[in-house]
Amino acid sequence: MLILVVNAGSSSLKYQLLDMENESVIAKGNCDRIGIGGHISHKTSDGRKVEADCDFPTHTEAFEKLVEVLTSGEGKVINSMSEINAVGHRIVQGAEIFKETTLVTDEIIDQIDALAELAPVHNHPHALALRACRKVLPDAPMAVVFDTAFHQTMPEKAYMMAFPYEDYEQYHVRKYGFHGTSHRFVSKALADAMGKDVKELKIISCHMGNGSSITAVEYGKSVDTSMGFTPLDGIIMGTRCGSVDPSAVTFLMDKKGFTPAQMSDYMNKQSGLAGVSGVSSDNRDVTAAAKDGNKRALLANEMLKYQTKKYVGAYAAVMNGVDAILFTGGIGENDAAIRAGVCKDMDYLGIKINDEVNNATRGELKRISADDSKVQVWVVPTNEELLIARDTLALISK
């Protein structure tokens, strides 16, 4: 059973081809610079690589190139796309319409496109990729897996915002939460590693990367999460400011003469670690600069640890306790100092890190807490593509 997983962005189309018999990756790659030129990077499981500049006016041409590299030339792994049994697509915003993985129809694609106002950078490109995929593979069943679906279990008191209620009724303004596919995967993987059922555990999942979100997972369900109406909310991120006083936003708009679109760009693309440090949006660069004595870089680093710690404390309170804390994502899986900083001075929760194990752990599933820690702390690598493939397989097998 071969399943192709597609993750479309505004100007990119990432993909993985998986053999579900053993859940191995046969090939993966990325078509980027769609609409502004084009480039493909393709790699097979046996180490063959394809790099080429291309002409990608739209996602359709990118998908056609994807087909070409999978079925011919140096990166060939299959003889024909007819060997692919199904396609799974990651969709960022499903709003309150989509609460579970869904089979793709023309109507479903139109509904996803109609939600573009809630996720303008993502949902329209998702719809373009879906249409391109159906054009190239008209007979293959396709499934859509929504980042927001996992968070649809949040109680009303957690997802509502204190605007007049009619704003929710008319404009659907509420907390949606994101990274749900990742949080669902890692919370289940952690439970398996602990020898438990996820429905027995209270977990705080820290997905930390260029985009970051913290989620309270109570007995397998999301009950609160740090990202809100958009992925801008929550902790400081690579270029996103995270939660700020709304009056600071209007104040800066007035001072800088920004339009709403310019202010949105400022908060999403010019703030965060990059804006505070003045060095980079990449935490590795910020950390290196901090070690060299850059005070602004050190500040950005400390803000990331401090804000994450606050969410851990808050979500322990929300769930009336916590059994385990996990770190995932590019930063969470690889930055021992960030993990240690988040867990430092958490004696009231009984959290103790094994510094030796923590410092030696990068990108692998491992418990990093001390043996006498009342709360277990783990590093859990995420694999959203595998979860999408599993969901797709389960749906088409019904």
Distance from chain centroid for Cα 197: 24
Instruction: Name residue, tokens 């859940």.
Output: 23
Residue 84 near residue 2 (C-beta atoms within 8 A): yes
Beta strand 376-379 with 324-328 is parallel
Residues noted as catalytic: 147
Instruction: Please report, for residues 52, 69, 138, the alpha-carbon distance to residue 86 in angstroms, rounded to integers and kept in the order given.
Output: 27, 18, 11
d(CA 271, CA 238): 8
Among 113, 8, 49, smallest CA distance to 388 is for: 8
Q: What share of the chain is helix, strand, coil (3-state, %, to 5)?
A: 45, 20, 35
The DSSP line for 109-171 is HHHHHHGGGTSTTTHHHHHHHHHHHHHH-TTS-EEEEETTGGGGGS-HHHH--SS-HHHHHHH
Instruction: Please report, for residues 141, 309, 362, the alpha-carbon distance to residue 306 in angstroms, rounded to integers and kept in the order given.
Output: 45, 5, 21
Query: What is the sign, positive or negative, of the torsion defined by CA atoms of 121, 124, 128, 131?
Result: positive
d(CA 234, CA 341): 18
Instruction: Please report, for residues 67, 71, 136, the alpha-carbon distance to residue 76 in angstroms, rounded to integers and kept in the order given.
Output: 10, 5, 17
d(CA 40, CA 53): 6
CA gyration radius for the chain? 21
